[in-house]
């Protein structure tokens, strides 16, 4: 059985998210973008001959941590330590996610002291996520999951065994 990305994406859920005006959903959307930015630009900055290489490595690690924070069903299908899982589960509220993204953004802003590179884009993306979660927190909006990625409890969601086989 071949799996496609379309089996995990819920287009009608995207429209519902846009109409929700819940900023935690927007923060999560930017979180997905940050995964790509952190990993791609982290790799791109590994080719500098300066201390920026360290920030590139940190960016890659940040992208992987965000992956597990924003896509929690990966915690169930990937073999991870209990300490890491407990660490990730701490960020299940708007306030904690705001602080998390802000701390990660500050780390990338510090990279400018070494050299101005494309990691500025990573810092700005992380800042946007932090601001989104901060607005949700200050408006007392409930932490809400996005409907972009299908819920593992949906009938048409691929079973864990199929996903493990694919990986």
Report whether pLDDT(4) > 80.
no
* 6 Cβ contact partners less than 8 Å away, ≥ 6 residues apart: none
Average pLDDT over residues 116-129: 94
Structural domain includes residue 16: no
Count of structural domains, the chain: 1
Structural domain includes residue 9: no
SS (H, E, C) the chain: CCCCHHHCECHHHHHHHHHHCCHHHHHHHHHHHHHHHHHHHHHHHHHCCCCHHHHHHHHHHHHHHHHHHHCCCHHHHCCCCHHHHHHHHCCCCHHHHHHHHHHHHHHHHHHHHHCCCCHHHHHHHHHHHHHHHHHHHHCCCCCCCCCCECCCCCCCCCCHHHHHHHC
pTM: 0.77
Percent of the chain predicted with pLDDT > 70 = 74
Average pLDDT over residues 28-33: 90
Structural domain includes residue 44: yes
Structural domain includes residue 82: yes
Structural domain includes residue 12: no
Instruction: Give me the domain span that covers residue 128.
Output: 22-143
Residue 1 pLDDT class (50, 70, 90 cuts): very low
| Pair of tokens at residue 56 | 């590139």
Range with the lowest mean pLDDT among 54-58, 69-73, 113-117, 144-148?
144-148
Average pLDDT over residues 37-45: 94
Structural domain includes residue 131: yes
Residue 21 pLDDT class (50, 70, 90 cuts): confident
């Amino acid at each position: 059985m071949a799996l496609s990305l379309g089996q995990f994406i819920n287009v009608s859920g995207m429209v519902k998210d846009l109409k929700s005006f819940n900023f935690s959903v927007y923060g999560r959307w930017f979180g997905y973008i940050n995964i790509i930015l952190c990993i791609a630009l982290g790799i791109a900055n590994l080719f500098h001959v300066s201390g920026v290489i360290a920030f590139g490595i940190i960016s890659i690690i940040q992208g992987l941590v965000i992956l597990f924070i924003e896509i929690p069903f990966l915690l169930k299908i990937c073999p991870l330590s209990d300490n890491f899982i407990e660490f990730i589960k701490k960020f299940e509220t708007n306030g904690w996610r705001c602080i998390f993204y802000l701390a990660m953004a500050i780390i990338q802003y510090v990279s400018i002291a070494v050299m101005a590179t494309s990691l500025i884009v990573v810092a700005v993306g992380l800042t946007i996520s932090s601001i989104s979660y901060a607005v949700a927190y200050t408006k007392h909006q409930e932490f809400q999951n996005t409907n972009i990625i299908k819920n593992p409890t949906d009938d048409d969601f691929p079973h864990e065994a199929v996903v493990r086989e694919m990986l």
